[in-house]
Chains A and B, each alone.
Chain A
Amino acid sequence: GENVEQHPSTLSVQEGDSAVIKCTYSDSASNYFPWYKQELGKRPQLIIDIRSNVGEKKDQRIAVTLNKTAKHFSLHITETQPEDSAVYFCAARSYGNNRLAFGKGNQVVVIP
């Protein structure tokens, strides 16, 4: 099955700087890649996603890039703010399969 690796496990950034989290996946047939943000004790919230027919997608301060050849995708957060502090999970879904394979999560800490 699909295997998703997420790096780094923890990332600290100064407020206003950018944060980048990278994920790699194993199944070349995967065609959907969402990113979720989870604050402590709360539900994961879908913040952005990308499908395999697109290389980049942007929504205000958040962007996701996809490199199908290298089988990796990245989350970019610009102008970070303290409220961006959370755990971020990447996931991948294989074609013809409605299950998501999640990465282990990345703790992002934005230092005021």
Chain B
Amino acid sequence: GAVVSQHPSRVICKSGTSVKIECRSLDFQATTMFWYRQFPKQSLMLMATSNEGSKATYEQGVEKDKFLINHASLTLSTLTVTSAHPEDSSFYICSASSGTGAYEQYFGPGTRLTVT
């Protein structure tokens, strides 16, 4: 149980284009999903927390207009990187939790974004 999928696993895009990443909980209802980015050999940096049906809460320093998050259903959240630039190249990972009463977070496999 507690399987989280992410799509695509890898994406290469040109500077200035937008990229959408999907995060799905496959066998449970995820009332809360989290989006992280991870640079090589570094820790996980939380970008935003999203609760189903409400606006995402962004961490300090994360531009909400650049990283659009939608959590329209209990099994799907999307992250759209708008007008991507080379410095946005990173490993983006989502995680899901079944609710505020549930402590565990389960991670998706990640998306490697390369902006050329």
Q: Which residue of B lies closest to A100 (CB)?
A: B105
Contact check: which of A34, A43, A103 meets B43 at CB < 8 Å?
A: A103
Q: In the complex, which of the residues A36, A41, A46, A98 has the most CB atoms of chain B within 10 Å of its own CB atom?
A: A98
Q: A99-B34, A102-B44, A105-B43 are in contact. Are A43 and B93 (CB under 8 A)?
A: yes
A-B contact count (CB 8 A): 45
> Which residues in chain A, 82-110, are within 8 Å of chain B measured between CB atoms?
89, 93, 98-100, 102-105
* Number of B residues, CB within 8 Å of A: 19
Q: Of the 9-residue stretches B65-73, B81-89, B96-104, which lies at the interface with chain A?
A: B96-104
Please state if B105 and A34 are interface contacts (CB–CB under 8 Å): yes
Give a binary string over A42-62; 1 marks a CB under 8 Å from any B CB, 0 the rest: 111110010100000000000
In the bound complex, residues from chain A placing their C-beta under 8 Å from that of B105 are 34, 46, 100
- For the residues of A in contact with B, the DSSP-based class is strand
CB distance from B56 to the nearest CB of A (A): 12
Distance between Cα atoms of A104 and B44 in the complex (Å): 8
> Which residues in chain A, 29-85, are within 8 Å of chain B measured between CB atoms?
32, 34, 36, 41-46, 49, 51
Please state if A98 and B43 are interface contacts (CB–CB under 8 Å): no
Please state if A44 and B93 are interface contacts (CB–CB under 8 Å): yes
Please state if A102 and B43 are interface contacts (CB–CB under 8 Å): yes
In the bound complex, residues from chain B placing their C-beta under 8 Å from that of A100 are 34, 46, 105
Please state if A98 and B108 are interface contacts (CB–CB under 8 Å): no
Q: Which residue of A lies closest to B32 (CB)?
A: A98
Q: In the complex, which of the residues B93, B105, B108 has the most CB atoms of chain A within 10 Å of its own CB atom?
A: B105
Query: Which 8 A/B pairs are nearest by Cβ-Cβ distance?
Result: A43-B107, A32-B103, A43-B109, A104-B43, A44-B107, A102-B44, A102-B43, A105-B43
A interface residue numbers (CB < 8 A to B): 32, 34, 36, 41-46, 49, 51, 89, 93, 98-100, 102-105
